[in-house]
Amino acid sequence: MSTSKKKPTASAPIEIGDEVVYTGEVRYRTPDAAEPYAALGGSAIVKDISEKSAHPFYLESVKGSDSAIFGWVDSKYVIKKEG
């Protein structure tokens, strides 16, 4: 029996209003802030984007979800929900 691994594919760009999954553990107060603050990953909504900044996405937790994120985050921890 052969098992093949699916290669990651490029997804559509993340836009304001998209629901995403945040996999990180820190947030920032501004898009270029140096000092991180604690956050709890999970479902969130993209509220703002600052493309050329160190932390380009401003996320807010989805109401009723188990996440606790309100702030600017790094793009490498943001995954767009498909569907």
pLDDT in tens, 2-55: 443 433 334 679 999 999 999 999 999 999 999 999 999 999 999 999 999 999
Residue 26 maps to a domain: yes
* Count of domains observed in the chain: 1
The domain in which residue 32 lies consists of 19-80
Residue 2 maps to a domain: no
Residue 12 maps to a domain: no
Residue 65 maps to a domain: yes
- Residue 15's contacts (CB-CB under 8 Å, 6 or more residues apart) are 46, 49
Residue 43 maps to a domain: yes
Residue 1 maps to a domain: no
Instruction: Please give the Cα distance from 37 to 35 (Å, whole number).
Output: 7
Is pTM beyond 0.95 here?
no
Give tens-digit pLDDT for 31-45.
999 999 999 999 999
Question: Quick check: 14 and 78 in contact, CB under 8 A?
Answer: yes
51 φ/ψ angles, rounded to the nearest 5 degrees? -55, -35
